[in-house]
Amino acid sequence: MASVLNIESIDVYSPSGSSAINTWVSDIIEGRTPEPEEKIRFWVHIRDAERAIAILNSNNIVGNFQLSGRRAWNQEMVLDEINRLWTRYQNSVQGTHTIESLSNIPSPAAFQVDGSDLRPNLAPLHDALLSCGTEGWRPLVAIRVGLMECIALAIEH
């Protein structure tokens, strides 16, 4: 049994990071088409990862854990959402919104990609967090919110 906490972080992104999401956001803002990627990802925001690690540390949990998002995402889903959010931002700045641009467009989370056979084993992390008195591994930051943060930080720089 491990005597330390070892976390393998998979597909963690941060608004100030250098993940594929950050590259895609920069490409879209600069009018470039991101390089195609076939990989299925399990994106999770850095705040969710940090929260889980802090809970495990404060409860003196030891062991080896994989940490990723619970939902499978393909690149097309994420790019569609980045494009949608970027267009909405530009329309707001330019005052060019239309009824269609403000309509309730479903989040990419409304669609499913079957990546169950690719997903990291989150059961040990979930169980460890349950043992700490939490609801287990339940990331709270929605992909849409995280992408907006990525866009906001990218246009500040």
Q: What are the boundaries of each domain within the chain? A: 5-156
Least confident of 54-58, 77-81, 93-97, 102-106: 102-106
- For CA atoms 138, 112, 68, 24, the dihedral sign is negative
Of 72, 59, 78, 62, nearest to 10 by C-alpha is 72
CATH of domain 5-156: 3.40.50.720
Enter the DSSP assignment of 109. G
Give CA torsion, residues 13, 17, 23, 25, to 10 deg.
Answer: 70
Summarised one tens digit per residue, pLDDT across range 26-65 is 999 999 999 999 999 999 999 999 999 999 999 999 999 9
3-class DSSP state of 149: helix
55 φ, ψ (degrees, to nearest 5):
-65, -45
Task: With 0.85 as the threshold, say if the pTM is over it.
Answer: yes
Q: How confident is the model at residue 92 (pLDDT cuts 50, 70, 90)?
A: confident
Of residues 82 and 100, more confidence is placed in: 82
